[in-house]
Amino acid sequence: MVSFRENMSDYLDSGMITHIEVGTGPCGEMRYPSYPRNQGWVFPGIGEFQCYDNNLREGFKDSAEDIGHPDWDLPDDAGEYNDTPSDTKFFGADGTYLTEKGIFFLKWYFYTLVKHADSVLHVANRAFLGCKLQLAAKVSGIHWWYRDDSHAAELTAGYYNVREHDGYSTLARMISIHYGTLNFTFAEMRNFEQNEETKNVPEQLVQQVFSDAWRENIEVGYESALNRYDKKAYNQILRIARPNGVNREGAPKLRIGTFTYLRLGDDLLETNNFTLFKIFVKKMHADLAYCPDPSKYFKPIIPLPRSKSPSLLKMEYETSATTRWIPYYVAKATPPFPFDEETDMPVD
């Protein structure tokens, strides 16, 4: 990262580079590689826990022993890559994930991921300290099995996001420590377009993650996931960009900071598609004229401050596996901010 700063100093100093997404895991995302296609995973498999190497196994055993359970081992009932939650004892009804041992494991697995990402972002903050830019970390959009009680696919990826624990709020708080932006995905997806059998509700997941980030007062960036050139997709992106619409008296209370459109290609540049795309871009800016001066933006980019603490994620053990694990912050599930049903700035 220091080498990047040194070799790109001209672009950083001139303001050409204003955002840097810091990779914290596979595909640059803050997660475990729980659903690798090269290992045979296919959608909507729940994936597998990624902690069975000697180092992580030893780390778990040490942690379990510290709270008086040297007999506990890693899960052996969580199924395989392409199982459904009900195929497994761990994620099924009254499954292992609800037991004291299961809760202990999931908190340990989650904490290990958060600790890793915290360390990487701390190094990135130190490398780019004082640069006029924003750091970003990407959280993976694991929307399949979100409506299942177990949230199995999220759990194998490392997100301890179940009914009484809001894992994304914890991630947002950690990102805020380093003055980062939370990046997310599948901006164009609607619930009614998904297969009911996979309990896939992307709109609710987006609403939860964005609400968690905004409560921590950090910017949200997002991107589209599929090559879509239709009005329905654009209107959904616009709805998420300003979930409570345009504020005629000033900046909207809730709004995204950045958006990445996927993707530029021959299909997009086809006449009808490109005409609609230009309308979409104008609507993203609420029909306002182009503003070339970043200092006039709602939240202008400032020199990157130093991380609030080099490490606020020290492990803490108590007598029960159900106690809070991250001493500075553990989130209880909180209702998300309300989102309007439709955008007030449609492309049609």
Strands (E), the chain: 19-21, 134-138, 180-184, 220-223, 258-260
- DSSP codes, 178-222: TTEEEEE--TT--GGGS-GGGT--HHHHHHHHHHHHHHTT--EEE
Evaluated on CA atoms 282, 136, 151, 154, the torsion sign reads: positive
Catalytic residue among 29, 48, 154, 216: 29
Query: Is position 197 annotated as part of the catalytic site?
Result: no
51 Ramachandran zone, left/alpha/beta (phi>0; psi -120 to 50): alpha
CA dist 311 and 313 (Å) reads: 6
> For residue 135, what are its two tokens?
């750091």
β-bridge mates for residue 29, sequence order = 138
Catalytic residue among 48, 154, 216, 223: 223
Amino acid at residue number 101? K
> For residue 106, what are its two tokens?
């999931």
Q: Rg (Cα) of the chain, in Å, rounded?
A: 21
Nearest to 142 by CA among 81, 221, 202: 202
Task: Give the number of other Cβ atoms within 10 Å of residue 251's Cβ.
Answer: 13
The contacts found for 245-254 with CB under 8 angstroms, 24 or more apart, are: 245/340, 245/343, 245/344, 245/345, 246/286, 246/344, 246/345, 251/298, 254/210, 254/214, 254/337
Phi, psi of 102 (to 5 degrees): -65, -40
> Taking the CA of residue 286 as centre, how many other CA atoms within 13 Å lie in the half-sphere pointing to its CB?
16
Amino acid at residue number 246? V
Nearest to 171 by CA among 131, 144, 125, 211: 211
Q: Tokens 């790109």 identify what position?
A: 8
Query: Is position 223 annotated as part of the catalytic site?
Result: yes
The residues annotated with a catalytic role in the active site are: 29, 223
